[in-house]
Chain A
Amino acid sequence: MKLLTIPGFWIAILAVAAAATLPWWVSGYILGLLTIAYYFGVFSMAWDLLFGFAGEVNFGPTFLIGLGAYGAGILNNRYELPIPYCLAVGTVLAVVGGLALALPALKVRGPYFGLITLVAVLLLQNMIVVFSGLTGGEIGLTVPDVISIDADTNYWLALGFMAVSGLILTAIARSPAGLILQAAGQDPVVTGALGFNVAKHKLAAFAVSAAFSGLAGGLVVFYMGTASVGTLINTSVGVQVIIAAVLGGRRTIVGAALGAVFLIAAGELLRPLGGLSTFVVSAVALLVILFVPSGLLGLGSLRRAR
C-alpha cells in the first residue's frame, strides 16, 4: 500500500477519528449541517477527479447528482423497493449519464464541453418539471423510507461514506491510471502518441466520478426524505460544488472535502447577515481565486513531484 506513505494520510485518519467523536460534543443541529456538508464533500471530490485529473470542466455536477438522487427516489416512491436497491439503480443511472457526457468530452474541448454539461443540467431540470407526475415537479419528491431517524447514525454514515470515498478517489488519482489521466488532461495528443489509451481512461474517470456523485445524491435523498430541484439540481448547487473544490485546492481530492465543509460552515456562521451571506461567501471564494489560486491546501503534492 503506497497510500500509507503519503504525507497527510495519517493526518486525514486523525481528522476523521476526531470528527467521529463530534456527536458527543455538539448539538443535533450542527450534526445535521455537517452531515449535509460531508455528502457535499463527496460531490466536490468526485468533481475534482474530473477537473483536477482529467482536465474536464464539468459545469453540471448536479446532472450526475440529480440522476442518482431522482433515480433512487422515484424507485422508492413508486415501488417501495428497499433502499440499497434504489441506491444501486440510481448509481447505475448516474454512471450511464456520466458516460453519455463523456462521449462529447472526447470530441470537444474546454468551453464547449463546459456548455454541454450546463445544457445537460438544464435539460434534466426541464424534464423533472415536465414529468411532474413521476418526479413531484417543482414541489419535490417525497420518499417513504429514510436511512435512519437518528441524527448520530446519519452523521456517522455520512462521515464514513466521505472517508471511504476520499480514500478510493485518492487511490485512483495516485495510481498509474491517474497519472495517465493527468497527462491526457494536459495534452491528449502526446499522451495518445505515447501509446496510452486516452479515451478508455477518460471514460473510466467519468464513470467513477458519476458513480460517487450519483450514490452521494441518492444518500442525500434518503437522509432528508425528499428530493427537489432546489436542493440537488439547481445551478447554484452545482456552483457550490465547484467553488468547494476550487477553494480546497484543485488536484488534491481531500481538499475538495475540506472546501465543502468550510463552505457550509461559513454559510452558517454568516447566517446573521441574512440576505448577504451568499454574497460574502462568494466574495471570499473570489478573493481566494484571485490571490491564492492554488486553494486552501496549497499546491497538491503531485505538483511538487514534478
Chain B
Amino acid sequence: MIGLQILVDGFAISALYALGAMGFTLIFGVSGVLNLTHGALMVMAAVAAWAASALFGLGSYAGAAIGILCGLAGALVTYFAVVAPIERSRAIPREEKEIFVLTGTLLWGIMIQELVAYFFTDNPKTVLPIVEGVFEIAGVRTPRNQVFTAVICWIVIGLLWLFVNRARAGKVLLAASMNPRGVTLLGHDMGKIYVAVWAIYGLLAGTAGVLLGMFLGVSSYSVGPLTASAFSIVVLGGLGSVTGSLIAAYVVGYLETATAYLISPAYRVIPALLLLVAVMYLRPQGLLGRR
C-alpha cells in the first residue's frame, strides 16, 4: 500500500519539479545563463495568484491567470534589467560574466523575496485551488488537486515538446540551445531568441509557481529551496538538456517522496543531495549532458 502511496504522491511533485526545471535549462542552453532568480519568480507568481484569488476575490481561474502573467513579467524584467546589462557590460571581463550573472540574479531574487515578505508577510499562503475534493485511486486517497496538478504539468510539458519539436519557431530555439553560433550563421537574431526563451521560461515558472501554491502552499522562505532544487535537477539531467531535466525531476521527486515515507520526513532531501554529489564526481556532465 505504501508503495502505491509513494507512486501517486511522487508523481505530482516530480511533475512540478520538471516544469520549473525545464525553463531553467532552456535558458542555460541558449544563453549560458544560470538564473538564480528562479525560486523568487515562482513564489512571486504564487503569491500574486493568492492575492488575486483570495484577497481581491477574483476567483481561482483569474488568480491563476494573473499569477502566470506575473511570472512572465518577472522573467522579462529579470532579463532586461539584470541579465542583459551584465552580458553587454564592457567593464566586466568575459571570463567573469558568469559569476556576475549568478550574483546579479541572486541579488535580484533576494529583492523580490523581500518585497513579497514586506507586502504580504512571510506566512505560508495556499492559492485557492481550481478543483476540490478527494479521489480514490486503487485504494489510495488522493486529493483531486494533486491529480489536477500532475495533469496540467504534463499538458504544459507536452505543449512545450510539441513547440520545440514541431513548430518552426520552437525548432530555432532548440537549435539555439544546442549551437547558438550555428543559429546565428543561419541568419537568426540571437537577441530575439533570448527574449523568446525568457518569455517561455516565465510562463513555465509562473505556471509551476501557481500550481505549487495550490498544491503545497508557498512562503517567502520557499525561495532558496526552490532555486536549489531546480539547480540540482538541471545539473543532474545535464545542463541544457530538456529531456534530461524531465528524467532528473522524476528521479529526485521520487527519491524525496520515498525517503519521506520510508525513513523520515526529516531526511527527505539528503539522498537526493548525495546522489547529486555522486553524479558530479562520476559524470559531471549529468545524465544527458552534452559537454
Contact = CB atoms under 8 A, between A and B. Distances in A.
A126 B270 contact: yes
Given A115-B231, A186-B95, A108 B280 contact: yes
B237 to A, nearest CB: 13
B114 A290 contact: no
Interface in B4-46: 34
Contact of B102 (A57, A123, A293): A57
Interface stretch (A165-173, A189-197, A271-279): A271-279
Most buried by A among B106, B232, B281: B106
Interface string B73-106: 0000000001001100101100110111011101
B148 interface: no
A3 to B, nearest CB: 27
Given A112-B284, A130-B266, A275-B117, 4 more contacts: A115-B232, A123-B277, A126-B269, A289-B107
A236 B281 CA distance: 27
A111 B95 CA distance: 12
Given A118-B228, A119-B273, A290-B89, A282 B111 contact: yes
Interface in B247-291: 266-267, 269-270, 273-274, 276-277, 280-281, 284
B56 interface: no
Given A123-B270, A276-B118, A290-B86, A243 B280 contact: no
B131 interface: no
Given A115-B280, A289-B103, A282 B267 contact: no
Interface in A260-306: 275-276, 278-279, 282-283, 285-286, 289-290, 292-294
A239 B280 contact: no
B110 interface: yes
13 contacts: A107-B284, A116-B277, A122-B273, A123-B273, A127-B270, A235-B224, A239-B106, A239-B110, A242-B103, A278-B114, A279-B118, A289-B104, A290-B89
B216 to A, nearest CB: 19
A112 B280 contact: yes
Interface of B: 34, 82, 85-86, 89, 91-92, 95-96, 98-100, 102-104, 106-108, 110-111, 114-115, 117-118, 224, 228, 231-232, 235, 239, 266-267, 269-270, 273-274, 276-277, 280-281, 284
Instruction: State the majority secondary structure of interface residues on A.
Output: helix
Contact of B89 (A111, A246, A293): A293
Contacts of B114: 275-276, 278-279, 282
B281 A282 contact: no
Contacts, number: 107
Contacts of B110: 236, 239, 278-279, 282
Contacts of B34: 111, 114
Given A130-B266, A279-B118, A115 B235 contact: yes
Contact of B228 (A122, A130, A242, A290): A122
Interface residues of A, number: 41
Contacts of A246: 103
A110 interface: yes
Contacts of A199: none
Most buried by A among B107, B117, B267: B107
Contacts of B91: 292-294
Nearest to B115: A279
Contacts of A286: 82, 104, 107-108, 111
Nearest to A239: B106
Contacts of A250: 96
B35 to A, nearest CB: 11
Interface in A127-142: 127, 129-130
Contacts of A279: 110-111, 114-115, 118
Given A116-B277, A279-B118, A111 B239 contact: yes
Contacts of B231: 115, 118
A282 B82 CA distance: 13
A289 B232 contact: no
Interface in A35-68: 51, 55, 57
A246 B114 CA distance: 21
A113 B43 CA distance: 26
Contacts of A126: 267, 269-270, 273
A276 B112 CA distance: 11
B118 A275 contact: yes
Of all A-B residue pairs in the complex, the 9 with the closest CB atoms, nearest first, are A279-B114, A286-B107, A275-B118, A108-B284, A282-B110, A293-B92, A282-B107, A293-B91, A282-B111
A216 B208 CA distance: 41
A8 interface: no
Given A119-B232, A282-B114, A286-B107, A114 B284 contact: no
B269 A122 contact: yes
B266 A129 contact: yes
Contacts of A130: 266-267, 270
A111 B98 contact: yes
Contacts of B118: 275-276, 279
A104 interface: yes
Most buried by A among B34, B110, B117, B284: B110
A230 to B, nearest CB: 12
A126 B111 CA distance: 26
